[in-house]
Structures are given as structure tokens and as C-alpha cells.
A = this chain, B = another copy of it.
């Protein structure tokens, strides 16, 4: 949902074509490692933005080479951008894939939950190490923004690890509790509320 706004923001700087937008986007997020965006997504986003009237294309044919299609932002586009700046970003929903994996592991008995936790923890440590290395490689004099991005990743990974400890400590207790069952509601019009 944010590539759309990023494209809009980059076009607010100056008119650009698709390929250029992609390069600019990746420069902004601190490199392709952090947030790679496929060309197809840029082009699809541009046509949707154009359909919404937030962006306009001037078909600027190239003397040689493939045609570049230059896009620029419209009045409506600027309004949409201001709107984006003025509202907070909605937190990602609390969708934890590891959690349902653990629950399904307990429910089906198809795997060892302790091993599950151990595998995931090892991965987290490895990721933490890799990012810490990248962080120390960055230059604080010129790449402060990128360093802050790494800091956030590190903070999240540390939280993940602390949470893993928590889960492990409570695992026996969880296993003693009943598995959540879907409560099928009665069909038809509900009885008149009594209480």
C-alpha cells in the first residue's frame, strides 16, 4: 500500500519515467536489500494512479532506444499526498505466522513444538547477526537514515527473541489448555434477546 504513495511522492519532486522511479525508490529505502520492488509493480501502480487522476502521462518518445513514458503529478495527486502526510500509518495487523504454526503443531501433533521453537530462534539469531554486521558497515556521516532503519530491525529481532523465551517458558502450560475451537453459531434468526 505504500509503493503507491512513494511513487506519488517521487513524482512530486519532478516528472519521471518508470525505470527511473524504481531506481529512486530503492535509493530512498536504502538499497535493494531493504525493499526490492519489481518493475511490474511500478508500471501497474502508474497506470492505476493515472486511472485515479493522480498522475498524468506525457508520451515522450525517445530519439533512440525504447520509448520512455514520462509521468508527472496532478493537482489531485498533490492533494492525495498531503492527505497521506497528515495521517498516521496503520500498524500492520497482528498476524504472526509462527504463532499459527505453533498452534497447528500442537493441534495436529505432526511435529515437536520444542524443535519448532529452537529452529525459529536459531534463524532469529542469524538474522540479528547479519543485520548487526550491515549496521556496523554503514557510514554514520552519510547514511544516518539507513542506520536508523537497521536499528529498528535490530529492535524487532530482539523483541522476537525475548518473545520466544516467553513462549518456551509457557509452553507446557499452553499444552495443558484446550485447543481453540470454532464456535459454530446457530443458523436462522437469533432468539429474541433476553438479557
Contacts and interface: CB of A to CB of B under 8 A. Distances in A.
Contact of A170 (B10, B144, B163): B144
B5 A101 contact: yes
Interface of A: 1-2, 5-6, 9-10, 12-13, 20, 23-30, 34-35, 78, 81-82, 84-89, 91, 93-101, 103-105, 107-108, 110-111, 116, 119-120, 122-124, 127, 141-145, 148-149, 151-153, 155-160, 162-163, 166-167, 170, 173-174, 177-178, 180-184
Contacts of A142: 177-178
Contacts of A20: 182
A93 to B, nearest CB: 7
28 contacts: A2-B101, A9-B110, A20-B182, A23-B182, A23-B183, A23-B184, A25-B100, A29-B95, A35-B93, A35-B95, A81-B108, A86-B111, A86-B119, A87-B119, A88-B119, A89-B97, A89-B123, A91-B124, A91-B157, A94-B152, A144-B177, A145-B177, A148-B163, A148-B166, A151-B166, A152-B159, A155-B163, A156-B156
Contact of A35 (B94, B98, B144): B94
A152 B163 contact: yes
Contacts of A9: 100, 104, 107-108, 110
A45 to B, nearest CB: 14
A143 to B, nearest CB: 8
Greatest chain B CB density within 10 A among A9, A82, A158, A166 is at A9
A95 B27 CA distance: 13
Contacts of A100: 2, 6, 9, 25, 28-29
A145 B180 contact: yes
A105 B85 contact: yes
